A = this chain, B = another copy of it.
């Protein structure tokens, strides 16, 4: 792993989260899909954040992102409050959480705006926001960026499925968890479901399974499929799973962006390494509330954990 200055653009949310888990709680801690993604990706490449914050957003958080070489030229500051989410995890099972409150605030009127420099970026990540906003970003980009990846969630699959089905063919990589993928495709078997997505256009489907790792399917130039399965990296203790999926995507896409390749140049090996880097960035995130742990790691820590992961999973 060597950090390149290749750029990657993320559109998503920057938020203040109030979260309670068995391990404690935090009030108004830095959160949002774009925050986790950008910080995780910043270890591999140079992220540009397209998002909106309110007047109440703390200057220290602006300075923090800038100190990590995150480009905030796409971050709009609007009068009003920053997006807020309040959630509580089941103290006995971190797979279950309850959303106690969501205040969209300035996010309710969010319209992403890309400048010319943004439009020239080769790798785009459309984090989990309304599909019409994700589409708006691609429309503004004009010609398709070299690599487009997207995430989504049950809410949009339920309420905006038609929009999603228009968007997905314009992307190269789809990230979903197993429940979302089944919900979107109506196909129970995950491999079959991934092929249903690949039939729509994307070359790569990454199925996130949380503590159980991931399954990734991709189509090769000769139309064969390459399937990859890997476990999560067990960490102890898990403090707060919030942001793990976005950190995973940040490590995954940050690594791909660092390669400076086009989508058709990306090899199965590149994708597998990306999946492991993603797994590792997610594993750091869950070890603390908010970005508390993720922000502390060094490139050396990432490499150390990469080697631990290889050691954990290598058969012989």
Interface residues of A, Cβ cutoff 8 Å to B: 189-192, 209, 212-213, 215, 227-232, 234, 236-237, 269, 272-273, 276, 309-310, 312-316
Asked if B315 and A276 sit within 8 Å, CB to CB, the answer is yes
How far is it, in angstroms, between the C-alpha of A313 and the C-alpha of B275 when the chains are bound? 11
Asked if A212 and B212 sit within 8 Å, CB to CB, the answer is yes
Q: Which residue of B lies closest to A232 (CB)?
A: B229
Asked if B212 and A313 sit within 8 Å, CB to CB, the answer is no
Chain copies in complex: 2
How far is it, in angstroms, between the C-alpha of A228 and the C-alpha of B313 when the chains are bound? 6
Asked if A230 and B315 sit within 8 Å, CB to CB, the answer is yes
With A273-B316, A276-B315, A315-B313 known to touch, is A234 a contact of B230 (CB < 8 Å)?
no
Provide the residues of chain B in CB contact with A189, threshold 8 Å: 234, 236-237
Cross-chain pairs A/B with CB under 8 angstroms, 25 sampled: A189-B234, A189-B236, A190-B234, A191-B234, A209-B212, A212-B231, A213-B231, A215-B231, A215-B234, A227-B234, A227-B312, A228-B312, A228-B313, A229-B234, A229-B312, A230-B231, A231-B231, A269-B316, A272-B315, A273-B315, A273-B316, A276-B315, A309-B315, A313-B313, A314-B314
